[in-house]
Amino acid sequence: MNTDIEYKNRNSKIVYYWPILILLVIVALVVAFFPSTPANAGLGKVNVSLLGTSMAGKPGTTVSGIDCLPNVRQFTWSKYAPMCEPKYTRNNGGSTSWGVTKNTIYITYREPNTSGASILAKLFGPAMGTDQQAIATMETYIKFFNSQFELYGRKVVLEPFSGKGDFINELQGQGLEQAKEDAITAKSLHAFADVSLLSSSQFYDQYLADQGVIAIGAIAQPTTWFKAYAPFEYTPTPTCDTGVRALAVGIGRSLANLPAIFAGEPSLQKKIRVFGLIYPENPTYASCGQLLQNILASQYHVYIKKTIKYSISLADEASEAQSAIAEMKVNGVTSILCGCDPIFPILLTGDATTQNYYPEWLATTFEDVFSQLNDSAEWSHSLTSGLLLPPKDKQEAYRVYKMANPKGTPSPQFAEIYPPLLLLFDALQAAGPDLNPQTFQAGFFRLPRSLPDGNYGRWTFGKDIYSPVSSFNILYWDKNAISTEDGKPGTYVPCNNGKRYTLSIKGVEQLPNHVQLDCFGIKPKTRN
């Protein structure tokens, strides 16, 4: 069907915007238990000749004004630019897929809906911005990207809608009928793709796949999950199994069978590390926690002394935190692996100080606005992995926003809004004019590796790679260092002189074996 149909945009209400709460799952430790493969997964074969990037290097000028020569990128303002495509002037095939017309590619965004918003607002107030600000920032990026990427005569149009599902409930496996209804709403808005990474959940993404809608979300799912729901699921965050395997190697080489020198009390600093694990109680998060324990036991003879699961419920976390700390202390745990949501460490660290217990914390990374609320006496002994962003005016996401809207002010969460949209547009260009879920996937797999020194680490693509993130830093919390996010004391700083590691077993094996990390100003001394 080649009829060019345009669909009416919808208004969106103002609600508090809590994007980072989609990371309530454990970025490095959790994985999804998933239902059966959707009926429309893995459809058809792709005619590679119709893909974008096959034209790269042919004579012509891009829509961004770049001479398209061999090995030239589409534009110079991003480290993550695809290979160049000369401006397309032929027939694009019109309506090549649901949500695609001759002129338009429709994408949806589910505005967050959660009963916990009032509690979160009291903790963080306007520092996280409003959903209206988030949508306006998305619109700014999309308008600019439309002028820079080769979309073969089409423009991307964002369709926000007010979701009925509570994504925090969905993370607990509840409210799934509402999640399904939201996916059907996205489909009814003629979505080719959905960019609700900021208010997403495993189940919402699965229901989108059932509807044949691509999702750029999927936090902390395993590669098997992405394959099961191919070609509809992608993410700008690490997959769970990749993160867990790298974490296990890091623990085995740099932490296990060594003294807990980063703990906050001298008695623990002299002890060989004893590990405890805390993560949300949910069947979707069990297998990666188990995978971590299995790898540590089988390859490094390291055993988790105490494992505690807690419910992702703001109403219950206070009592659960107190109990968890008591159990960790009585079991002699020196080093807590905290695969926790951003709220739980606030409670855990307060209770740990109350109980006069100062272990090492090996924790999930969240924005500084969250970690600054943790008890500093505890969090000053916290390690994590992630990527450090430079000051705002040096970040690619901020510079691009200002290129698009010099007088505007982006949402405080611009750094989280930018990557999924950039990844989406990269793949749209690589998909070529015959746009559908299959060519989108083939184009995604064929994208080039990003240029060095990008703010979001190295992006690497290839067959069955659904998350391009392939590098990270090891970090520790410095309560006195000034945050580039909010200008306040308290932020993460790099260990090991800022060395960046490849997010793979081979990459993490660059860590010297049985040598302490160079963190907190403590130089490594222990060797085999």
Is the whole model's pTM more than 0.95, yes or no?
A: no
What CATH number belongs to 19-240+393-445? 3.40.50.2300
For 507: left if phi > 0, alpha if psi spans -120 to 50, otherwise beta; the answer is: alpha
Q: Cα(311)–Cα(278) distance, rounded to whole angstroms?
A: 11
- CATH architecture, domain defined by 242-390+470-508: 3-Layer(aba) Sandwich (3.40)
The three-point CA angle 71-77-493 to 5° equals: 110
Domain boundaries, the chain: 19-240+393-445, 242-390+470-508
The pLDDT, as a whole number, for residue 139 is 98
The pLDDT, as a whole number, for residue 313 is 67
Q: Cα(33)–Cα(206) distance, rounded to whole angstroms?
A: 12
The DSSP secondary-structure symbol of 149 reads S
Q: What is the pLDDT along the chain (528 residues), one digit of tens a residue?
A: 333 333 333 333 333 333 333 333 333 333 323 333 444 444 445 555 557 654 444 679 999 899 999 999 999 999 999 999 999 999 999 999 999 999 999 999 998 776 655 566 666 666 677 889 999 999 999 999 999 999 999 999 999 999 998 877 777 677 899 999 999 999 999 999 999 976 788 899 999 999 999 999 877 788 888 999 999 999 998 888 888 888 899 999 999 999 999 999 999 999 999 999 998 876 556 667 788 888 999 999 999 999 998 887 666 778 899 999 999 999 999 999 998 877 889 999 999 999 999 999 999 877 788 899 999 999 999 999 888 888 889 999 999 999 999 999 999 889 889 999 999 999 999 999 999 999 999 999 999 999 999 999 999 999 999 999 999 899 999 999 999 888 899 999 999 999 989 888 888 888 999 999 999 999 876 444
The pLDDT, as a whole number, for residue 503 is 83
Contacts of 381 (CB under 8 A, 6+ apart): 262, 263, 264, 358, 359, 360, 361, 477, 520
The pLDDT, as a whole number, for residue 12 is 33
Q: Cα(144)–Cα(517) distance, rounded to whole angstroms?
A: 42
The pLDDT, as a whole number, for residue 182 is 96
Question: Which amino acid is located at 439 in the chain?
Answer: T
User: 440-447 contacts: CB < 8 A, separation 24 or more?
Assistant: 440/193, 440/214, 440/231, 441/46, 441/230, 441/231, 442/46, 442/48, 442/51, 443/51, 443/52, 443/53, 444/234, 446/51, 446/53, 447/53, 447/82
Fold match flag (19-240+393-445 vs 242-390+470-508): yes
The pLDDT, as a whole number, for residue 2 is 38
